[in-house]
Structure 1
Amino acid sequence: MPHQRAPWDVLVLGAGAAGLACAAALRRAGRRVLVLEARERIGGRVWTDRTFAPHPVEFGAEFVHGEHASTWSEIDAAGLATREWRKRDDSLVHAEPGGPLHGWVGMARLRAADVAFDRTRTMHLGGSRTHVSESLDGYLERSGFDARQRRYVRRSFANACGDAPERLSARDIAASLVDDRDGERDFRVVGGYDRLFAAVSAGLELRLRAQVRRVTTGPEGVRVALADGATVAAAVAVVTLPVGVLQAGDVAFEPSLERLKGDALRGLAMGPVIKLVYRLRQPPVDDPHVEALYAAGPVPMWWSPSAGRADERDGGAVDEPVWTGFVSGSPAAELSRMPERDALARGLAQLGDELGRPLEASAARLIDWPRDPYARGGYAVVRPGHHGAREALAAPTPPLLWAGEATARPGAVATVHGAWESGERAASEALALLA
């Protein structure tokens, strides 16, 4: 019997930023590509909700990080508007004891008055000065950051990185800070981040609720078995599954994942990240220009997606502003272990206690990414002593290729555009294999 050509050139596993960017690039090149997504929606860890408030609320990734981020061309092509989040100008910080200022202070004022705080915001780490096996916390202590400065780092910088400083590779963090090509400004997509993904996915062949169970490679390419019993095949497959999913063993590989990517996966972890989202009966602060709060408690970062937005039902002001708490590391893991109601009550009580006023919520949601079976965490972090794990995971093992935010270039880790770029890189690798 003559050999029958597989109906697809490339299978893309996952319809997040990396998967959709990869598939769109392959389609533009004229290749036959099928995207398999386990969820009932596209976007992966971009999850826009339109039921919680009278405007879109991002339960997952929220910002375009950088005025030069690579996704701007797609945002502009889709005709999407954006709004800048001026977190440095419109933020209050709960100052640590022992400094020149006390209580809640504007970030710009605190940076000007407290050299110690300003040092934790600039975070200049020289890559050649970090030790190979050193944690971020170890580097900071060796470099003369005192206990107060390290608390600031833990509250803001490390929290945004996805885990505690003692569990982050100093060398990986240093590499990410050297690569600053994307810029420092942050933006929201007006109308919801998912609008970008809807535009990019138009015309793609997608299968939702397609849970991959086994990936087998051989001389003829790749065969993927799904949970519903179906099997699909192609010459090449691009794996964009999150590190947590790969590490959990939810998908079997043949040859084994240990053989393919064991060393890389041992050096990576999914940072536990949680969002606590509240619709408040009254604003937490009186100043309407304040859009973010940097607290001292277990949930250290807060911002309002309602700032600058109108009620989409009538165009008027938002009566009950939405505020989001963002927490990673051990505090996030602790909240994840609690009943949802208790975790939400704790987060709101913490913020109210720090502000010195009771806060009441008419609605609340806990977005627990560590418990999400298709993410198993917020985003990938590199453990101390494992710098290079991202590059090792990204390395091709034909006919399997690898993409996703865990494989992003240093300056774009933990970002949508970093995942996006990795998908486009994998598309170029696939085209080279198919040539």
Structure 2
Amino acid sequence: MKKTDVIIVGAGASGLMAAYTLANAGKMVVVLEARGRIGGRIHSVNENFSAPTELGAEFVHGDLPVTLNLLKEAGIGSQHVGFEMWQYQNDAFAQTEEFIDGWDEFLQKLNQLENDMPLHDFLEQNFDGAQYAKMRNQVENYVAGYDTADSRDASAFALRNEWNHENEYAQHRVDGGYGTMVNYLANACRNAGTEIHLTNVVHKVSWKSNAVHVTTTDGKQYEADKIIIALPLGVLQAPESAKGALAFNPPIKEHMKAIHDMGFGSVIKILLEFDEVFWEKEAVGADLSNMGFLFSDETVPTYWTQSPVRSRLLTGWLGGPPAYAQKGTSDEAVLQMAMTSLSNIFQTGQEILQDRLVAWHVANWTAESYTRGSYAYDKVESPQARKVLLQPVDGTLYFTGEYLYDGPAMGTVEAALTSGKNAAEMALKGGS
């Protein structure tokens, strides 16, 4: 059995960034990945579609330093995303930046909140009248769609911080897809001697101070001085008997409690490529030629284009509790939900749209055993939980992932990269 300096469990953005940082410091690293590919929730594909298509992470949400600097280092370009935001409601299209009635009043009241609570409770306590029913529904739908969160346990403070700092116009897409970035990281790691083993599902982590023994589901064993756990929060929250779940021996009770005090959302992403940009023709009374996002009250409520690139690809998005409710639904049934929604929006027969469809893919991330959800959101307990998880266990076990990032870019690739870099640097120091 070969012993190495550090084992990293998970070859997503955070795990690869941790490996990259350690390899550059001269450490011998082994990365163990359950899937047959790298990238985690980054998955750029070319198959079936006419251009690289993102099944997972797609946007660079802001002028984010770690992501953009890494792309620059790799010689990978990015393009600013310029778009118009449209809404379909009451049988009409409207271009608008305001999707929530009474938003200013709501945000003003939220900014006055002194003690954190779930957003749902805040709405019930401050906007409980019938006159606010529409606004409450719009806010909770927004939280479900954008944050993929459940307002019944999502932190009002965290959402307030996000909404007070967001810059929806500073959006970018990576040339060739995010997959080019994770390929760069993986290749740089391999060139520095790092081993990346795919289809290695880690099941058991036995440890003592500065000694780790890892066992996979097919009996492979690895040893190292330290281990960095770079798995999605949904996998860490899964019971030990679940596929892809980890068991720690001895148990790490305080850290596991903290893991369950973090929120992890649900999402289904539906990629649809048509034989033409039909939405430019079918939107009666509206010019959607520069449409970026389209919001509606349909079952699959949100769609976006590749604007400013004129593309035949339309992406559907279902997040939060509505996505969780569909986690066991077949891909074909989800496709029909999306097609029915588009048929209703554009008042076009579903059979006509079906005939125009040339490629499709349903990415039901909540149903995938090695992901089990979308990305993290804060619950009221999460800030304290994050403090626990950011502390290594006896200088030997470290955690990393987008859920450990504390800032307005939570839930993004930037958050994952930053966390991976920080965890690796902490491991290099030998402790906290």
TM-score w.r.t. the length of structure 1 is 0.85
Give the structure 1 partner of residue 268 of structure 2: 274
**Equivalent residue in structure 1 for 2:173, among 171, 188, 195:** 188
Deviations 1:364-386 (A, max 9, x none): 22111111111011112333455
The Cα of 1:347 is off from its aligned counterpart by: 1.6
5 Å-filtered alignment, 1:276-355, equals 276-282=270-276, 283-286=278-281, 287-305=288-306, 308=309, 321-355=312-346
Contact 1:124 1:177 in 2 (8 A): no
The letter for the 2-side match of 1:391 is K
* Residues 58 and 35 of structure 1: CA distance in aligned 2, closer, same or farther (over 3 Å): same
Deviations 1:208-267 (A, max 9, x none): 11111111111341111122322111111111111111121211111214x141321221
Deviations 1:331-360 (A, max 9, x none): 212332222212211121112202322333
Contact 2:211 2:224 in 1 (8 A): yes
* Residues 343 and 211 of structure 1: CA distance in aligned 2, closer, same or farther (over 3 Å): same
Give the structure 1 partner of residue 14 of structure 2: 18
- In the aligned structure 2, how far is the partner of 1:375 from the partner of 1:308? 30
- In the aligned structure 2, how far is the partner of 1:362 from the partner of 1:61? 23
**Equivalent residue in structure 1 for 2:427, among 420, 425, 430:** 430
Give the secondary structure class of the aligned counterpart of 2:160: helix
Contact 1:27 1:33 in 2 (8 A): yes
Give the secondary structure class of the aligned counterpart of 2:318: strand
Which one is further off, 219-228 or 408-417?
219-228
Give the structure 2 partner of residue 313 of structure 1: none
Contact 1:65 1:186 in 2 (8 A): yes
Contact 1:272 1:329 in 2 (8 A): yes
Contact 1:275 1:366 in 2 (8 A): yes
* Residues 20 and 123 of structure 1: CA distance in aligned 2, closer, same or farther (over 3 Å): farther
Contact 1:276 1:367 in 2 (8 A): yes
* Residues 288 and 117 of structure 1: CA distance in aligned 2, closer, same or farther (over 3 Å): farther
Give the secondary structure class of the aligned counterpart of 1:337: coil
The Cα of 1:124 is off from its aligned counterpart by: 6.4
Q: 2:396 matched to 1:407?
A: no
The letter for the 2-side match of 1:414 is G
* Residues 14 and 385 of structure 1: CA distance in aligned 2, closer, same or farther (over 3 Å): closer
Contact 1:273 1:370 in 2 (8 A): yes
**Equivalent residue in structure 2 for 1:256, among 251, 259, 262:** 251
Q: 2:152 matched to 1:152?
A: no
5 Å-filtered alignment, 1:31-430, equals 31-87=27-83, 90-95=84-89, 103-108=92-97, 111=98, 116=101, 119=104, 123=107, 129-132=113-116, 134-144=117-127, 146-177=132-163, 185-204=170-189, 205=194, 206-248=196-238, 249=240, 250-257=245-252, 259-282=253-276, 283-286=278-281, 287-305=288-306, 308=309, 321-358=312-349, 359-360=353-354, 361-397=357-393, 398-430=395-427
* Residues 160 and 127 of structure 1: CA distance in aligned 2, closer, same or farther (over 3 Å): same
- In the aligned structure 2, how far is the partner of 1:184 from the partner of 1:390? 29
- In the aligned structure 2, how far is the partner of 1:128 from the partner of 1:424? 35
Contact 1:171 1:387 in 2 (8 A): no
The letter for the 1-side match of 2:409 is A
Contact 1:241 1:404 in 2 (8 A): yes
- In the aligned structure 1, how far is the partner of 2:386 from the partner of 2:346? 40
The letter for the 1-side match of 2:262 is L
Which stretches in structure 2 are left out of the alignment for 5+ residues? 282-287
The Cα of 1:167 is off from its aligned counterpart by: 3.2
- In the aligned structure 2, how far is the partner of 1:125 from the partner of 1:229? 56
The Cα of 1:107 is off from its aligned counterpart by: 2.0
* Residues 125 and 201 of structure 1: CA distance in aligned 2, closer, same or farther (over 3 Å): farther
The Cα of 1:129 is off from its aligned counterpart by: 1.4
- In the aligned structure 1, how far is the partner of 2:135 from the partner of 2:233? 31
Give the secondary structure class of the aligned counterpart of 2:188: coil
Which one is further off, 143-152 or 202-211?
143-152
- In the aligned structure 2, how far is the partner of 1:423 from the partner of 1:306? 31
- In the aligned structure 2, how far is the partner of 1:378 from the partner of 1:389? 19
Aligned residue-pair number: 406
Aligned-CA RMSD value: 2.7
